[in-house]
Amino acid sequence: DAKTTQPNSMESNEEEPVHLPCNHSTISGTDYIHWYRQLPSQGPEYVIHGLTSNVNNRMASLAIAEDRKSSTLILHRATLRDAAVYYCIPGGDSNYQLIWGAGTKLIIKP
């Protein structure tokens, strides 16, 4: 299983971009990189996932390093509603092999 390293917490200002880093130096060649987030007192929700290329969706962008040992989740314009814990989870064969770490707590300042 790939080990991940994420900052415990980050702060950002409202309406500014946010870059959430994740190191996964032991990732295997077939592991996708999944990002979920968990708003206070709610269940996790899917944000984005990717394998090699950068990925975009309505919520965020995912930038994956060329060697795949790190990735960055980009929120283009943070709002107060984006305050959550963000989990970076490498995994491939099954959802049931995903290892959930403690994630990064993102604090958005008005």
Partner 1 sequence: NAGVTQTPKFQVLKTGQSMTLQCAQDMNHEYMSWYRQDPGMGLRLIHYSVGAGITDQGEVPNGYNVSRSTTEDFPLRLLSAAPSQTSVYFCASSLYNTGELFFGEGSRLTVL
User: Which one, 34 or 68, has the nearer CB to partner 1?
Assistant: 34
DSSP annotation of 14 reads T
Half-sphere exposure of 1 (CA within 13 A, CB side): 11
Q: State the residues that interact with partner 1 by CB under 8 A.
A: 32, 36, 41-46, 87, 91-96, 99-103
User: Which one, 79 or 97, has the nearer CB to partner 1?
Assistant: 97
Question: Coil, strand or helix: which one is 48?
Answer: strand
User: Which one, 50 or 103, has the nearer CB to partner 1?
Assistant: 103
> CA dist 108 to 13, 36, 40, Å?
5, 17, 13
To partner 1, the closest distance from the beta carbon of 57 in angstroms equals 11
